[in-house]
Amino acid sequence: MAQEFSVVGKRLPRIDAKAKAIGATTYTVDLQVPRMLIGKVLHSPYPHAKIKKINKTRAEQLPGVVAVITFEDVPKVPFTMTTDDKMLRNPDAIKSLTLDQLVLNDKARFVGDPVAAVAAIDEGTAEQAIDLIEVEYEQLPAVFDAVEAMKPGAPQIHDAAKNNIASHFVYPFAQGNVEKGFAEADLVLEETFSVSKQHPCQMEPTGCVVDFDADGNLTIWSPTQEAFLLRDKMADIYGIPTGKVRYLTQFAGGSFGGRGVSLTLEPITAALSKKAGRPVKTVYTREEDLFALETRTPFIQTGKIGFKKDGTITAMETRAIANSGAYITHSPAVTSVNLGLFFGLYKCPNTSGYCDIVYTNIPISGGIRGYGNPQAMWVLEQMMDMAAEKLGIDPIEIRLKNLRETGDPCWVPFIPIEGWQPKKCIEKGCEMFGWKEKSAANKGEGIKRRGIGIATVSHVSGAFPMLSEHTNAYIKLNEDGSADLIASCVEMGQGLLTTLCQIAAEELGLRLEDIRIFNGDTSVTGYDVGQHASRSIHGTGEAVRRAAAEARKQLLERAAKMLGVSSDGLQVKDRWISLKDDGKKGISVAEVCNNAIHNLEGECLNISGRCSFEAGQSPIFQAVLAEVEVDLETGVVKPLKLIMVHDIGRAINPLIVEGQLEGGAVQSLGYALSEDFIVNKNNGVLESDNFTSYKVQSAPDVPEIEVSLVEDPVESGPFGAKSVGESATVGVPAAIGNAVYNAIGVRIKDLPITPEKVLKALKEKEQKA
Amino acid sequence: MAQEFSVVGKRLPRIDAKAKAIGATTYTVDLQVPRMLIGKVLHSPYPHAKIKKINKTRAEQLPGVVAVITFEDVPKVPFTMTTDDKMLRNPDAIKSLTLDQLVLNDKARFVGDPVAAVAAIDEGTAEQAIDLIEVEYEQLPAVFDAVEAMKPGAPQIHDAAKNNIASHFVYPFAQGNVEKGFAEADLVLEETFSVSKQHPCQMEPTGCVVDFDADGNLTIWSPTQEAFLLRDKMADIYGIPTGKVRYLTQFAGGSFGGRGVSLTLEPITAALSKKAGRPVKTVYTREEDLFALETRTPFIQTGKIGFKKDGTITAMETRAIANSGAYITHSPAVTSVNLGLFFGLYKCPNTSGYCDIVYTNIPISGGIRGYGNPQAMWVLEQMMDMAAEKLGIDPIEIRLKNLRETGDPCWVPFIPIEGWQPKKCIEKGCEMFGWKEKSAANKGEGIKRRGIGIATVSHVSGAFPMLSEHTNAYIKLNEDGSADLIASCVEMGQGLLTTLCQIAAEELGLRLEDIRIFNGDTSVTGYDVGQHASRSIHGTGEAVRRAAAEARKQLLERAAKMLGVSSDGLQVKDRWISLKDDGKKGISVAEVCNNAIHNLEGECLNISGRCSFEAGQSPIFQAVLAEVEVDLETGVVKPLKLIMVHDIGRAINPLIVEGQLEGGAVQSLGYALSEDFIVNKNNGVLESDNFTSYKVQSAPDVPEIEVSLVEDPVESGPFGAKSVGESATVGVPAAIGNAVYNAIGVRIKDLPITPEKVLKALKEKEQKA
């Protein structure tokens, strides 16, 4: 029997929409804190250089300048933002991580590496002061390519990393024997693919306000996704107790992983604030943002897969090189996700893989939306099509034959998959897309050729059991029957606040407008590992539901006393508490709350609930179908149609889930077709340092996108919900790649699929023919 | 056996001292909110006038002006801030209160009554716009004196109040039969006293920032003492749910009751913000602050007391007239406290009293620090000396004979007094003061005469059972073993934050520096009735202790699991959890918290505790002894020494308790000697509209003040604490009055005791002689 919901499952408008639409939402860049100064950063013009001398006297003497800092003014505490499986579950293990960054260093490792910073009374003065800092550099040879960097004799970027290999990561859940598996195969494919760096390109540029006050309290306004983790990190760097650090942010103007999961400007701004004795705000320009923020990690990744004649996979292997850039942030964890999900989609008895994480003199690479999964599926889902072609099997069929199913282990071998619907998703997608008809249709004869492609996707709901899934929520009811929800999270555009409020409203029998959420304050909210790994609804959402359930229990108990009945017999729905068998007789939630707060009867009570718990894991499945048109003369690939069918568990708000899928698809189209992070091969300068040269998708670029949800509620999430956040960024490039091949018979193995690459491949094909 | 404390009872420096000393604390006037406008108010120049027409066109046309409002632009919802015994315990009863204010009105009732307001891009523009508003007034006859106002034919200020009597309040706990009591007396004294209006004169002028946003949420930054009460009030006025209103303020730059317990600028600023569609900040100048803020209510109060020859009181009666000014705010509640405490100090079988609360055309009178008690003691404690003289009894003896004792009913007949120490306080005070020696000493022969006086005082710890004492606290522990305390209160200079942190630290076995407090946000903290009636430590403090005790229980349970012992056998002290019988063996609080948050063992848990409860009542006792020197030529009364011995229950931080007593004493000396709120008797203009004409006490004015604490822990408060906040303002005027009489043989019955009054009284005495 279907559960009846009042708020959950409804296509309700977002609670933060109106304020955002009229420009009234306060973002970090809007903040004005009393006594605040403006900070600016001086960046290295060289990709690799020793800083021999810095003369800051002229800058310091400029009227209006309050503090100038160099590596001599900052703590000598190395740090990293790498999160790995040990970090949270055993904080001592952080000692074994690559602690390769300092707040400011006496060596620059990429063009843009911070060298010095100033705090002044206004932006103009700060900019002027930056120009007055005199730096004497000793230039060092640099290397930008990961393969080159690994060769003996390449410039050494960090002393501790021999051949610039920061880490050799081996897939920990390897099974069986790949050699044996490949020997049993009728077809063994081995192919190498690569991907560019993708920048998150969030609308609000990186910035923060930091107040390192006279009492040693460090207050940080920064649109971070992982406030509690960064809080610990800042406490470590500055040698103060964790409890002294307070991270504050309700809204981030977009984040997509790149901005919010690492320390960028906070440590430098804290040093400025400490020296100045005043709060400091530092905001990067778009140009600075493009080289300063971590991007999606570029991989060169080889897949090797063995198949039986009927398409059954016998063995899978992958070997990758990840270009981490000048420092290690998220690339190791990205690698772990890449390998995990490479092997997490299809059943396979023999698996093995590794990845070398390599330093180069380019800007930092880390993890953004989708983490290592888009890179993995770019390889795997094109190889599935290649195998299907070679084996003469339909691409849908070869996938259905090998896909994991409910009850199989998920990408973590000891956790079974809950309610997966791969067959339903694929079938629905094919039907919406007209797969059969389009498969049979003519590809075109003239300059413009059409093609179709599919990719399937699995993705996580949270990082359990690799990282902790600890989260907290607290809710209290006001005397008018409304509720204040205090949750540890940031709204970065994903609709999280609305969704959490819907969960609370449903559980409390209230309306959406009765719930107000207060978020983004580490001192007031309970611990939470952050907004990453598509975990927020599945994890924090369930904490909110449980906290609301506790408050509901108190509410019904109080109502039961007032009505002189047992609380077991009561229900609450649409602000009204009544007997389950007589919905009319009862009392309003407002009356009970008012009574409880104003002690009109019995003892005073501010009805409230809290939850502190750790969520589990429950992967999603998604089918992506793409149709493209390729211009043989220009090489331009024009996407015509994109279909996504997503296995959500339960859509708390279908409008928001669909929005996440559509937004992710657009971001993913940029990754597939246009976003190219170009570092000059001679001097290391970022050439794509604005939105003209770094081309994100805009409205006219975007094809018809249709999304559809398949609901099969799971036990672990609130009202059965799984995740959606990152998933749409995963499968699109491979589906487009397959469609391009289907259209013109050439396979582009390097992202983005630019016109130049298409033309080059067509030319090579022609030459071969 | 004495309880041993680690943090409680220690003279620790205030946690907010450093930031305040260097000017880094953010007060409301410092706030900058994005898109914020500046508001200004136009005040009536007439004490009583009908507003016939307002032309705001010229103001609206001034570039930079965003909104101009008059009575036509505001809700027509009458309101009041009167809190009475029914208000909180039965919110419906608010309907019976005197709802005599509107946000803006078409009638002005005192010089300074708001008539219109503007919001503009800066202060200069707003001021200019105010001058451009054209108002046509019809002047009405005015009355400033309460006795005159009650006469038939006096100008009618509010239609509903016949003879301008807003309310006739009768003492509800009258006992016995006063006529019979007076008949049994050997001496019946009947005397009439009066007091001036005292302004709170807080350092930070009245101001607020209000954002009435596009979603109908009303966010108010205002240094209020009663955020939850004012939240409800604002919701009522603007017809929105309570949960939509958020009051925010951590620090008030002084408040003393006058600023923080009533709506002053918030309703007008909300109307400006609503019309402008942007946040608005309005801050009063000192001149505006002096006429706009409610002051201590001036009373003309008659006491009638019957005594037996041996000094035993047989009957007490009081009749008073309270000049409420143009509107009713706190004067009824002040009256109720006045009468309650008039009868609450001494045992007496026959009691009766009433007070008329009267409208006049002067600025609003309400309640400030001490509420109605200073007025009551100004009468009672001088009459005790008058009776002692007439009966030939020592003033100490007559008091000790009649004072209530532990176990007697307190000022509320059905609540017994806990651990009172009147005898100990008086004896200690006399010893410190050298009462005996000074009594016997020469008063002086020349121009300067010396005198001594005593007054005894009882005062409340909270407003229970008149008002609700509902309060909440929430505390959570971080992974470093530090704790975040989330409490509903404002720090207005009284040291509350430090004291609450000490309570939490003691209960949790932590150090003071391990606790951070986050306060002043109605949306995030639980319900609290506010900072009034000296309730915060006794009420909110106990909620904090209980919340900390719950967190402590979780902490010890987790530690017990880790140590493999029972939690009953564990103690926590100075950050270390150990076996009660082996303090060395154990585990640190930080390790347990870290383990719990990072789920290193067992389930994830952010250790936390909360408390929602209602505190009781427990009055304090205080003895005040004063020595003065009176100049017969100039009439100047110079205080030489002030001793206060205070019955605190338990001093959580003696430094802070002493500071409260000393600060209160200085404020009280101003009330006694210099602070005179002078309204011109012809035109109603406030003549004492700055700190030259309204003379507060400054450092050179203040005599040696010595305070001493008597500790007798009570059951009801945290670690036995009662209250201190208001008490020091209560007894000083009477003690000074008695000392003046002792010095020069004339009794001044009207506060303040100015040189003019002293000279006049001396002249009258001379003429009589």
Any bridge partners for residue A626, and if so which? A453, A642
B214/A486 touch (CB, cutoff 8 Å), yes or no: no
**Alpha-helical regions (H) of A316-447:** 331-342, 373-391, 395-402, 422-433, 435-440
Closest to A90 (Cβ–Cβ): which among B215, B232, B600? Answer: B600
Half-sphere exposure (Cβ direction) of B530: Cα atoms closer than 13 Å: 25
Residues constituting chain B: 769
Helix pair B542-563, B589-597: axis angle to 10 deg:
80
Is pLDDT at B480 greater than 60 in this prediction? yes
Contact status of B76 with chain A (Cβ, < 8 Å): no
Q: How far is A510 from chain B (nearest CA, A)?
A: 13
Chain A's closest residue to B469, CA to CA, is A604
Any bridge partners for residue B487, and if so which? B473, B519
The 3-state DSSP class for residue B723 equals coil
Any bridge partners for residue A49, and if so which? A108, A139
Q: How far is B514 from chain A (nearest CA, A)?
A: 8
pLDDT at A83: 58
Q: Please give the sequence-ordered ranges of beta strands (E in DSSP) within B89-153, or none if there are none.
A: 107-108, 114-120, 134-139
pLDDT in tens, A408-435: 999 888 899 998 999 999 999 999 999 9
Q: How confident is the model at residue B258 (pLDDT cuts 50, 70, 90)?
A: confident
B241/A599 touch (CB, cutoff 8 Å), yes or no: no
pLDDT in tens, A263-297: 889 999 999 999 999 999 999 999 999 999 999 99
Contact status of A480 with chain B (Cβ, < 8 Å): yes
A470/B599 touch (CB, cutoff 8 Å), yes or no: yes
Q: How confident is the model at residue B601 (pLDDT cuts 50, 70, 90)?
A: low
Residues 522-541 of B with CB under 8 A from A: 523-524, 526-527
pLDDT at A261: 79
Q: How far is A240 from chain B (nearest CA, A)?
A: 10
Q: How far is B515 from chain A (nearest CA, A)?
A: 8
Q: How far is B467 from chain A (nearest CA, A)?
A: 10
What average pLDDT does the structure give for chain B? Answer: 94
Tokens 């509410």 map to which residue?
A555
Is pLDDT at A583 greater than 50 in this prediction? yes
| Residue from B228, B242, B575, B613 whose CB has the most chain A CBs within 10 Å, to mutate | B242
A599/B468 touch (CB, cutoff 8 Å), yes or no: yes
Is pLDDT at B82 greater than 80 in this prediction? no
- Which residues does chain A have within 8 Å of residue B611's beta carbon, measured at their own beta carbons? none
Contact status of B92 with chain A (Cβ, < 8 Å): no
In contact, B684 and B361? CB cutoff 8 Å: yes
Measured distance CA(B560)–CA(B554) in Å, rounded:
10
What average pLDDT does the structure give for chain A? Answer: 94
- Which residues does chain B have within 8 Å of residue A24's beta carbon, measured at their own beta carbons? 35, 213-214
pLDDT in tens, B393-435: 999 999 999 999 999 999 888 899 998 999 999 999 999 999 9
B32/A30 touch (CB, cutoff 8 Å), yes or no: no
Is pLDDT at B88 greater than 80 in this prediction? no
Give the single-character DSSP code of A461.
S
Q: What is the mean pLDDT of residues A613-631?
A: 97
A516/B476 touch (CB, cutoff 8 Å), yes or no: no
B232/A479 touch (CB, cutoff 8 Å), yes or no: yes
Contact status of A375 with chain B (Cβ, < 8 Å): no
Task: Tell me how crowded residue A553 is: count the other CB atoms within 10 A of its CB.
Answer: 13
Q: How confident is the model at residue B85 (pLDDT cuts 50, 70, 90)?
A: very low
pLDDT in tens, A717-746: 999 999 999 999 999 999 999 999 999 999
pLDDT at A599: 75
Chain A's closest residue to B235, CA to CA, is A480
**Can you say how many angstroms the Cα of residue B82 is from the centroid of all Cα atoms in its chain?**
14
pLDDT at B254: 94
Size of interface A-B (CB pairs under 8 A): 162
pLDDT at B442: 87
pLDDT at A442: 87
B90/A600 touch (CB, cutoff 8 Å), yes or no: yes
Contact status of B85 with chain A (Cβ, < 8 Å): no
Q: What is the mean pLDDT of residues A437-450?
A: 93
Half-sphere exposure (Cβ direction) of A519: Cα atoms closer than 13 Å: 32
pTM summary value: 0.96
* Residue with more model confidence, A82 or B632: B632
- Which residues does chain A have within 8 Å of residue B594's beta carbon, measured at their own beta carbons? 91
Contact status of B406 with chain A (Cβ, < 8 Å): no
pLDDT in tens, B726-753: 999 999 999 999 999 999 999 999 999 9
Measured distance CA(B619)–CA(A246) in Å, rounded:
39
Phi-psi label, residue B745: left if phi above 0, alpha if psi -120 to 50, beta otherwise: left
Measured distance CA(B307)–CA(A309) in Å, rounded:
116
Q: What is the mean pLDDT of residues B47-73?
A: 98
Q: How confident is the model at residue B569 (pLDDT cuts 50, 70, 90)?
A: very high
Closest to B482 (Cβ–Cβ): which among A243, A476, A483? Answer: A243
Residues 456-475 of B with CB under 8 A from A: 468-470, 472, 474
Q: Please give the sequence-ordered ranges of beta strands (E in DSSP) within B632-769, or none if there are none.
A: 637-647, 704-710
pLDDT in tens, A485-541: 999 899 999 999 999 999 999 999 999 999 999 999 999 999 999 999 999 999 999
Contact status of B233 with chain A (Cβ, < 8 Å): no
pLDDT in tens, B146-170: 999 999 999 999 999 999 999 999 9
pLDDT at A86: 40
Residues 486-515 of B with CB under 8 A from A: 486, 514
Measured distance CA(A639)–CA(A453) in Å, rounded:
11
B484/A606 touch (CB, cutoff 8 Å), yes or no: no
What is the value of ipTM here, to two decimals? 0.94
pLDDT at B203: 94
Measured distance CA(B434)–CA(A504) in Å, rounded:
66
Q: How confident is the model at residue B510 (pLDDT cuts 50, 70, 90)?
A: very high
Tokens 């609290």 map to which residue?
B528
pLDDT at B83: 58
- Which residues does chain A have within 8 Å of residue B484's beta carbon, measured at their own beta carbons? 243, 523-524
- Which residues does chain B have within 8 Å of residue A546's beta carbon, measured at their own beta carbons? none
pLDDT at A98: 79
Chain A's closest residue to B470, CA to CA, is A604
Closest to B468 (Cβ–Cβ): which among A214, A242, A604? Answer: A604
